[in-house]
């Protein structure tokens, strides 16, 4: 069994860092990630610089990184204005991701729009992304619960996913934005998503806010999901509600899948070295287990 993993640390991880990370360091770390065997990396977002200053150098990062040709690069697009800016450098990346929150309150606090407004813009952006010859992915935040509204009905989430698919998204990611999923629900949800979205790549994006991230990833895998997003060093989280800590660590996810016999194409030692390196850049210890323990050596 082959599992596909997208590294989202350079975007989803870095955006939560309070201290500005120098562009040189971002470029160096992305180049290192690109040489671990990762085949998918999310590297930038075209959000307004005053909203997330940390990502204001996205175009420069895209221009300067040097990763192997087989690595697919993704950028996150918040709205049509962001897409305008991204398309100015469209030769530098392969895939564009559009997004919405399944929770009305979270969507309003995150992008200052109602879900209906966001989806109307997403329909237009999906068409433009495809016309530009780029891969179109979609992300649904708070798919497993909202810190403001509580339970989010799966039919609402999957209805949004079906609309994205109709608009032309070939990959749809379901985000556990504040770590509210549990393994039983994750397995049920991804079984339903795979059934309702034939021909679409279904991606799991779990956070480890409450310590259940890897268990949820395993549950999604058992349901048939083979596409995941994660962040080296367990960087990231959601900048909107307080206490929303990071994504599951890519190196922990890779370690789990390798020990289960699944193929990822990723060198775990190289990935751990890069995750340890980012600690030096940030000047603090990170919460990934594999950074401390290292890979399992049965020899």
* Sign (positive or negative) of CA dihedral 203, 12, 155, 138: negative
Q: Is the dihedral of CA 262, 266, 268, 269 positive or negative?
A: positive
238 is catalytic: yes
Catalytic residue among 136, 146, 225, 238: 238
Helix, strand, coil proportions of the chain in percent (round to 5)? 45, 15, 35
Q: Do residues 136 and 169 touch, judged by C-beta distance below 8 A?
A: yes
What is the C-alpha to C-alpha distance for residues 10 and 32, in angstroms, rounded to an integer? 12
Q: How far apart are CA 47 and CA 62, in angstroms?
A: 15
The candidate with the shortest Cα–Cα distance to 29, out of 41, 17, 15, is 41
- Which residues are identified as catalytic? 238
């Amino acid at each position: 069994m082959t599992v596909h993993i997208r590294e989202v640390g350079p975007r989803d991880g870095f955006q939560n860092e309070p201290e500005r990370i120098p562009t040189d360091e971002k470029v160096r770390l992305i180049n290192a990630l690109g040489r671990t065997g990762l085949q998918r990396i999310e590297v930038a977002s075209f959000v307004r610089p005053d909203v997330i200053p940390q990502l204001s150098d996205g175009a420069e990062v895209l221009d300067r990184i040097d990763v192997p040709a087989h690595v697919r690069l993704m950028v996150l697009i918040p709205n049509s204005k962001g897409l305008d800016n991204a398309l100015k450098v469209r030769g530098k990346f392969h895939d564009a991701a559009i997004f919405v929150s399944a929770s009305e309150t979270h969507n309003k606090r995150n992008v200052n729009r109602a879900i209906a407004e966001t989806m109307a813009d997403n329909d237009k952006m999906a068409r433009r992304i495809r016309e530009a010859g780029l891969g179109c992915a979609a992300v649904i935040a708070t798919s497993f619960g909202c810190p403001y509204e509580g339970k989010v009905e799966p039919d609402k989430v999957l209805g949004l996913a079906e609309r994205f698919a109709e608009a032309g998204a070939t990959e749809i990611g379901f985000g556990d934005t504040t770590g509210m999923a549990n393994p039983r629900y994750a397995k049920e949800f991804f079984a339903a998503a795979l059934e309702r979205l034939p021909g679409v790549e279904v991606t799991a994006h779990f956070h480890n806010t409450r310590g259940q991230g890897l268990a949820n990833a395993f549950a999604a895998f058992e349901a048939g999901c083979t596409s995941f997003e994660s962040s080296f060093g367990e960087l990231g989280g959601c900048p909107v509600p307080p206490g929303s800590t990071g994504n599951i660590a890519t190196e922990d996810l890779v370690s789990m899948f390798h020990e289960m016999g699944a193929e990822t194409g990723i060198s775990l030692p190289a990935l751990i070295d890069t995750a340890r390196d980012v600690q030096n850049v940030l000047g603090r210890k990170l919460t990934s287990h594999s950074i401390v323990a290292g890979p399992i050596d049965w020899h």
